[in-house]
Amino acid sequence: MSESNSGRTIKLLKDIGIYAIGNLGSKLVTFMLVPLYTHYIKPDAYGYYDICLTAVFILMPFLSLQLRDGGFRFLIEAKDGERKRAIITFVYKTLFLNSLITITLGIISAFFLSLEYLGLLIALLIAMSIYEVVIQVIRGLGYTKHFVASGIISAFLIGIFSLIFVVWLDMQIEGIFLANILARLLTILILEIRLKILLRYFRYRFNDKAVNKEIIKYCLPLLPGTICWWLVGSSNKFFIEHYLGLDQNGLYAVALKFTAILETIAFIFYQAWQETAIRQYDSKDRDRYFSKIFNNYLYILGTLVILFPFVLKLNYFWLVDSAYNSSAQYLFPLSISAMIYSLAAFFDMGYQCSKRTIYTLPGIALAAIVNIIANYFLIQEFQTFGIIASSIITFLTLLIYRLIDTRRFFKIGITHRSFVIITLIIISGTIFYLISSTTIIILYIVFLLAIIGYLAPQEIKNAILNKANLKKT
C-alpha cells in the first residue's frame, strides 16, 4: 500500500471512529427504549405511532427540500466566509419559510381531516426537519465532534422525556411525540448557544443568486428521488397495516428496531466515507482505492449479517415483551435487506461526488416500481415474509442498476472473498430457521467466527494485530 493510500485509510478509520461514538451512543439509548415502549404501549398503539413516524419521514423532504444534503455538500468544499454565509443564509431562510407554510397547511387541514394527533405530527415534522438541516450544516462547517455530540444529546433527551411522559405521566404515544419534539428543539438550542451559527453566518438581506441556483440544482433532483426511496423503504408498513393489521405492523416495527443496529453501523461508514469519497474523487488511483474500500465494507457487513441474527435469537426472550417474541423470525431476512440497502448506498457517492444528482432518479424510480409490484403480490401469498422478500428484491435491483450505472463515475472490482461471504450468508440464513438448540447455535457461531477470521482482508487482520500489540505494551 502506498503512503498516500495508507494516510487516506487511516483518516477514514479515524472518521469512522468519531462517527461511531455519536451514532452508537445515540442508538444505544434508542435501543434501550424499545423494551420500555413495548412494555408500556400496546402493539396496535405502537404500530399507529410507527405509521405516524413514517408519514413524517415522507413529508420531511418537502419541508426541507433536501437542503440537509445540499447544505453539507456545498459547505464541505466552501473555502471562504462569504460563500459559507451565502449557503447558510439561503438554507435557513428557505427552511424557515417552508416551516411557516407547513404550519398554515396544517391549520387548514385540521378543518377537513379528523386525523388523530395532527398537531403533534406537524410539530414533530418541523422539529425533525430543522434538526436534520442544522446538524448537517454544522457537519459541513467541519464541526464533526459537535455533529456527533448532537446525536448523543438528542437521544439522551429523548430517553429522559420518554421516562417523564410515557412512564411517569402515562401519556402513551402522545408521550413519545412530545419526547421526540422537545429533545430535538432543545438540542438545536444547545448547538446554537455553543457555536452561534446564526449569529456568525446568517444574514437576512444577503442573497447570492448564483449560489442559490447551484444548491437548488443539486437538491431538487434529490426530492423526487427521496419520495421514490420512501416508497422502496417505508411503504411496507402501509401494506402490512392495510392487509395484515396494526398488530402485525407493531411486530414488524420492533424487528426493524433491532436490524436498525446494522443500518446504524452502515450509516457510520457512510458518513465517514462520504467525506473521504468527495475529497478523493479526483485522485489518480480512485478506482483501485474505491474498490478496496467497497470489498472491505462488504466483508464487514457480511460478517455482521451472518452473526448478528443468531446472537439476537439467543437473547430475544428478555429483550422484548412476550407479546413481541414472534417477531424474531424476521431478523435474518431483514438483516439481509439492510445489507443490500447499505451496499446500494455506497454507489450513491458517484452521483454526490460529481454533483450530478439528476442521475439518481431512474434507478430509484425503477426500484420503487419493483417494490410496489412485489409488495402487492407477495404480501397476499407470504404475508410479512412477502414484504421482507419484496425489500430484498427491490434493493438488489437498485444495487445491480447502480453497480452498472455508476461506472461512468468510478469502476468497482469485486474480489473472490466477497463472493465467499455472500455464500456464507445464504447458508446461515437457512440454518437460522433449522436450529433452535442454544448449544448448537453457540457452536455454529464459534465455527462462523473461525471461517470469517480466516477470510478477513489483510488490512483488517493488521489493524486487529496492531491494536492487540498496543494493549500489551
* pLDDT in the model for residue 52: 82
pTM: 0.76
Q: Do 165 and 293 fall within a single domain?
A: no
Q: Do 257 and 397 fall within a single domain?
A: yes
3-state secondary structure string across 41-101: CCHHHHHHHHHHHHHHHHHHHHHHCCHHHHHHHHHCCCCCHHHHHHHHHHHHHHHHHHHHH
Q: Which one is predicted more confidently, 54 or 233?
A: 54
Q: Do 320 and 417 fall within a single domain?
A: yes
Residue ranges of alpha helices (H) inside 281-383 are 286-319, 331-346, 348-354, 360-382
Of 189, 219, 249, which residue sits at a domain end? 219
* pLDDT in the model for residue 234: 62
pLDDT band at 6 (very low <50, low <70, confident <90, very high): low
pLDDT band at 57 (very low <50, low <70, confident <90, very high): confident
Look at residue 263 and tell me if it is in a domain: yes
The string of pLDDT tens digits covering residues 15-54 is 777 777 766 666 677 667 777 777 777 777 777 777 788 7
Q: Range with the lowest mean pLDDT among 25-39, 110-124, 281-295?
A: 25-39
Q: Is the pLDDT of residue 401 over 90?
A: yes
The string of pLDDT tens digits covering residues 326-369 is 777 888 889 999 999 899 989 988 898 888 888 888 988 898 88
Q: Is the pLDDT of residue 5 over 80?
A: no
Of 196, 219, 242, which residue sits at a domain end? 219
Q: Do 371 and 448 fall within a single domain?
A: yes
Look at residue 36 and tell me if it is in a domain: no
Look at residue 56 and tell me if it is in a domain: no
Average pLDDT over residues 307-312: 85
- The total number of structural domains in the chain stands at 2
Q: Do 417 and 455 fall within a single domain?
A: yes
Of 167, 202, 219, which residue sits at a domain end? 219
Give the structural domain span for 385: 1-15+228-473
Q: Range with the lowest mean pLDDT among 272-276, 315-319, 448-452, 461-465?
A: 461-465
Q: Do 134 and 203 fall within a single domain?
A: yes
Q: Do 187 and 298 fall within a single domain?
A: no
Look at residue 128 and tell me if it is in a domain: yes
Q: Is the pLDDT of residue 429 over 50?
A: yes
Average pLDDT over residues 258-263: 81
Distance CA 430, CA 432 (A): 5
Q: Is the pLDDT of residue 8 over 70?
A: no
* pLDDT in the model for residue 1: 41
Q: Do 384 and 436 fall within a single domain?
A: yes
Q: Do 377 and 457 fall within a single domain?
A: yes
Total Cβ atoms within 10 A of residue 80 = 8
Write the CB contacts of 146 (distance below 8 Å, at least 6 apart in sequence): 138, 191, 194, 195
Average pLDDT, the chain: 83
Average pLDDT over residues 449-471: 70
* pLDDT in the model for residue 244: 74
The residue ranges of DSSP E strands in 85-153, in sequence order, are none
* pLDDT in the model for residue 2: 44
Q: Do 167 and 293 fall within a single domain?
A: no
* pLDDT in the model for residue 182: 95
Q: Do 236 and 371 fall within a single domain?
A: yes
Q: Do 176 and 293 fall within a single domain?
A: no
* pLDDT in the model for residue 3: 43
Look at residue 238 and tell me if it is in a domain: yes
* pLDDT in the model for residue 142: 85
Q: Which one is predicted more confidently, 235 or 369?
A: 369
355 sits in the region (left: phi over 0; alpha: psi -120 to 50; else beta) called left
Q: Which one is predicted more confidently, 250 or 441?
A: 441
